[in-house]
Amino acid sequence: MRRQDIRNVAIIAHVDHGKTTLVDAMMRQCKLFRNIDQMGDCILDSGDLERERGITIVSKNMSLTWQGVKINIVDTPGHSDFGGEVERVLRMVDGVLLLIDAAEGPLPQTRFVLKKALELGLRPIVVINKTDRPDARIHEVLNETVDLFIELDADDEQWNFPVIYASGRNGTSTTNLADPARDLTPLFRSILDHVPAPEYDPESPLSGLITNISHDDYIGRIGIGRLLGGRVRTDDPIVVLSGSDKQVLGQVQRLFVFEGLERTVVPVVEAGELFAFAGIPSVTIGDSIADPERPIRLNILTIEPPTVSMMFMVNNSPFGGREGKHVTSSKLRERVEKELRTNVSISVEWGDSPDRFTVAGRGELQLAILIEQMRREGYEFQVSMPQVIMETDGDKVLEPFETLVADVPKECAGTVIRMLGGKKGVLERIIELKGTYTRLTFTVPMRGLFGFRMEFLSQTRGNGVMAHTYLGYREWAGKIGGRRNGVLVSDHTGTVATYAVANIQDRGRLFVSAGDMVYTGQIVGETMHAHDLKVNPTKQKHLTNMRSSTSDIAAKIDAPALLALDQMMDYINEDELLEVTPTSLRMRKKLLDFKERKRAGLGHVSHVLRDRAGEIR
């Protein structure tokens, strides 16, 4: 028995293939809000970081009504570092809209999200989006998608997928390129026809799976998931079953379903519906809810393990405690523990020291987003260089590998191949794209991609586009060279002087400008040599009574290189730290004193320290 009044569908794709823009168009056609045309673009991307970076970071639930059928939609992140969000929310739906850019075609994250959907037996609808692009290659992209389904061993039902040609920006779609695209009616009709209606048995015992967590200041912790069997009412007694065989009895205080972009209070929820409930403070992601008299434990969520780790520690720099609101180790621990309750793809190793611990995630971007969120909340702390998490298989040492796809101008292809060869990358495939671009596909160790994006953009003169996703663990590829240049390290504390900048800038590029505050041991620039140099950026011009015809000639000051958080994380070496405060980002040496660094033998050949492979050197 199936509920024909509901469809549950997730939208999955590679980053920037137009998921959120398509959802905007679907909401506009359904007239979800009276003033929706004044609400702007990417309505679901409501977070500041999501709008700044132009990506979806957290999955979101909403619903639309089309011809009397409620369509529950889950918008998922497209970046591989947030793949944990995709893995858990796919358990809530019966089908997926697989969006593929009409020009770029299937990219690494397309493969990852489709693989997870096929493993769960979900029915896919392929949406070739952005068909209005002048460089669209629709037929080639469809053939590449078919090849991807073959490669991932799709079954007969999944293989017989419908194809929709759409333009999310224009709000149009069609099932046949020969027919004019008018609106999204073909897309909605395909969802109703091809996404299975949820199974429904009102006599079965209560069972539901929690896949997300939210919080309300008035009613507390809210569990979000799908009701798979039975029905639940407000004030009903339930039992929460966790993966550790723990059982918690409680009572449902409030029930919600998703109506539009909001959660609506309802008295009862029946099987097949996506819902939320409040009443049990200990509920967490992966828990099952059941009838206390007939408890049914559902399969727990399985998430790919973390692959990158960083050390978080209390800020002990000379400027520590000046700019942050939360600076103590206890505050840092509380914030990370809070993140653990809602983010299943992050893990923490607390260690023995109270002022430092190791945070592991799916990739650099995921950790960078966490760090940025914490600094915006007023936290002040330090982080170490990212390192990949190694594994062992008998006598073999394994490390995470990634699939990298790079679209580059044809004249830059040789340079990129040579660069990635030095990173132990293996060229797997070459495709000639329309125009003057070539697509290169590599298998490369994850640590080889740390800091690679800046070098890649430089060598392709900003015209290259790259994307990568986690492939799996393989045998360690050997040492990989890293940053070749040393750094300029301040040996004084004070304000950066224009006179000093004019003299220092000839030795390399600076990261600070006149008027900035610096301290002893802070990294203020990059040298042109392989070793570090200590400099005095606070040096002032000596006053004198002697006059000279050339003394007042203005010096030309170059603009400093301003690095973003992600770039600084990639830049620092093993003997360096990144200081994070709500207002500043500073790179520093672990040992601030020059004599201590000299005794420790640090800073002479910086590229030797750049092997981000745990204890392997």
Span 174-182, average pLDDT: 87
Residue 313 tokens read as: 């520690």
pLDDT band at 606 (very low <50, low <70, confident <90, very high): very low
Q: Average pLDDT for residues 293-307, to the nearest whole number?
A: 79
Indicate if the pLDDT at residue 583 is higher than 90: yes
Task: Provide the CB-side half-sphere exposure for 108 (13 A, CA).
Answer: 25
Which domains occur in the chain, in start order? 7-194 (3.40.50.300), 207-290 (2.40.30.10), 304-389+481-617 (3.30.70.870), 391-475 (3.30.70.240)
Residues 75 and 61: their CA atoms lie apart, in Å, by 7
**Contact assessment for residue 272 and residue 227, using Cβ atoms and an 8 Å cutoff:** yes
11 burial level (CB within 10 Å; 0-12, 13-18, 19+): buried
C-alpha 24/C-alpha 42 separation (Å) is 6
Distance separating the N- and C-terminal Cα atoms of the chain: 60
Q: Quick check: 522 pLDDT over 90?
A: yes
* pLDDT of res. 548: 57
The torsion region of residue 147 among left (phi > 0), alpha (psi -120 to 50) and beta comes to: alpha
**Among 138-147, 198-207, 323-332, 423-432, whose mean pLDDT is lowest?**
198-207
The conformation of residue 497, written as its DSSP 8-state character, comes to: P
* pLDDT at site 34: 52
For the ranges 77-91, 245-259, 302-316, which has the lowest average pLDDT? 77-91
Within 8 A by CB and 6+ apart from 131, the residues are 102, 138, 165, 166, 167, 177, 181
Residue in the block written with tokens 């430089």 = 458
Report how far residue 417's alpha carbon sits from residue 434's, in angstroms, rounded to the nearest whole number: 20
Query: What pLDDT is recorded for position 211?
Result: 86
Reference 44, options 34, 108, 32; nearest CA is 32
Directed axis angle between helix 413-422 and helix 452-459, to 10°? Answer: 160
Q: Reply yes or no on whether the pLDDT at 466 is more than 90.
A: no
CA–CA gap between residue 339 and residue 333 (Å, rounded): 10
Share above pLDDT 90 across residues of the chain, in percent, rounded to a whole number: 34
Nearest by Cα to 290 from 333, 337, 350, 230: 230
Q: Determine which of 14-18, 41-45, 122-126 has the lowest per-residue pLDDT on average.
A: 41-45
Could you tell me the two tokens for 71? 């369509």
Chain-wide mean pLDDT for the chain? 85
Tokens 């990144």 — which residue? 578
How many beta carbons lie within 10 A of that of residue 35, not counting itself? 6
Percent of the chain with pLDDT over 70: 90
Contact criterion met (CB below 8 Å) for 568 and 527:
no
- Sign of the alpha-carbon dihedral angle for 52, 55, 60, 65: positive
* Residue type (1 letter), 139: H
Question: Residue 521: helix, strand or coil by DSSP?
Answer: coil
Question: Is the pLDDT confidence value at 609 over 50?
Answer: no
Helix (H, G, I), strand (E, B) or coil at 512: coil
Q: Is residue 204's pLDDT more than 90?
A: no
Tokens (6 digits) for 268: 């009862």
Query: pLDDT for 440-460, tens place per residue?
Result: 999 999 988 887 887 888 888
Nearest to 53 by CA among 86, 21, 79, 26: 79
- Tell me the mean pLDDT in the region 494-517: 90
> pLDDT for 385-434, tens place per residue?
999 999 988 889 999 998 898 889 989 899 999 999 988 999 998 988 87
Mean pLDDT, range 167-182, rounded to an integer: 88
Identify which of 382, 526, 390 has the alpha carbon closest to the alpha carbon of residue 451.
526
Helix, coil or strand: residue 235: coil
Position 82, amino acid: F
Instruction: Give the span between the Cα atoms of 484 and 322, in whole angstroms.
Output: 33
Which tokens is 226 given?
């799908």
- 617: which 2 tokens? 């050197």
* pLDDT tens per residue, range 73-130: 988 887 767 767 777 788 889 999 999 999 888 887 788 888 888 888 899 999 999 9
| pLDDT at position 554 | 61
